[in-house]
Amino acid sequence: MATENSEPLQSLPGDWERALAVVAHPDDLEYGAASAIASWTSEGKSVSYVLVTSGEAGIDSIAPEEAGPLRAEEERASAGVVGVEEVEFLGHRDGMIEYGLGLRRDIAAAIRRHRPEVVVTINHHPTWGGSSFNMADHRVVGFAVIDAARDAGNRWVFRELLDQGLEPWDGVRMVCVNASPYPTHAVDVTGYLDRGVDSLLAHRAYLDNLGEGFDARAFLESGASHVGRQAGVEHAVAFEVIDV
């Protein structure tokens, strides 16, 4: 995943305790962000995951009815590798996520439940950098996460959440977008890359579908080394930080 920023990257602020990662599919976090999450949980920070879908349409050789539960289980195992115990699934349809009030409400509700200071998602931009076009689910969820981080703090948006006992939460300080082509900050993951690799390898069914040409360790090490050079460390993970 190429980046269009060659400037030195700032260190991501670490003066927070709770993060919530919200992405479209099982394995979205494992292509980079999981190494950073391993470093955070090792410091005693709390990180929870919310998956908008179960990734049921992601494996051509396995029917959605079987793939969804399989990938959800792999995601729970993957999360455990990096110290994440709480994993939720919102039940939207893989490959057909629609931006709208329903999606914003579901994510805002999750933010109110978990009350994070930091929200993590992945690239919502049209490309990964260059001409590699980003898929619809990633773009839609990324934008919805940014909007929902604000919705969560507004008492008069999604008032039905109040009836569910979900009081507004305006404590989100920043949305951190992994794999953005416009990174601004980095997290030093030197010493944590192996856990990130193991977290990705837990998605065995999906990786097997990619064929023998994909090397998870080489992929993650290459990206982390590239970002590390920009951050002045051995290995790092990049984020575009959006203030809320």
CA 160 – CA 166 distance, rounded (Å): 9
Instruction: Flag whether 145 is in a domain.
Output: yes
Q: Is residue 5 part of a domain?
A: no
The maximal CA–CA distance of the chain, rounded, in angstroms, is 51
> Domain total for the chain?
1
Lowest mean pLDDT among 1-10, 68-77, 121-130, 187-196: 1-10
- Closest C-alpha to 192, from 75, 31, 74, 37: 37
pLDDT tens, residue by residue, 158-174: 999 999 999 999 999 99
What percent of the chain shows pLDDT beyond 90? 92
pLDDT tops 80 at residue 190: yes
**Distance separating alpha carbons of residues 130 and 233, to the nearest angstrom:** 25
Q: What is the mean pLDDT of the chain?
A: 95
Which residues are CB-neighbours of 38 under 8 A, at least 6 positions away? 81, 82, 83, 189, 192, 195, 196, 199
pLDDT at residue 2 tops 90: no
What CATH number has the domain bearing residue 58? 3.40.50.10320
Question: Is residue 85 a part of any domain in this protein?
Answer: yes
Domain-located, residue 2: no
pLDDT of 5: 53
Do the domain assignments include residue 211? Answer: yes
| Owning domain of residue 234 | 10-243
Mean pLDDT to the nearest integer, 77-101: 98
Residue 110 within a domain: yes
**Residue 7's pLDDT band (cuts 50, 70, 90):** confident
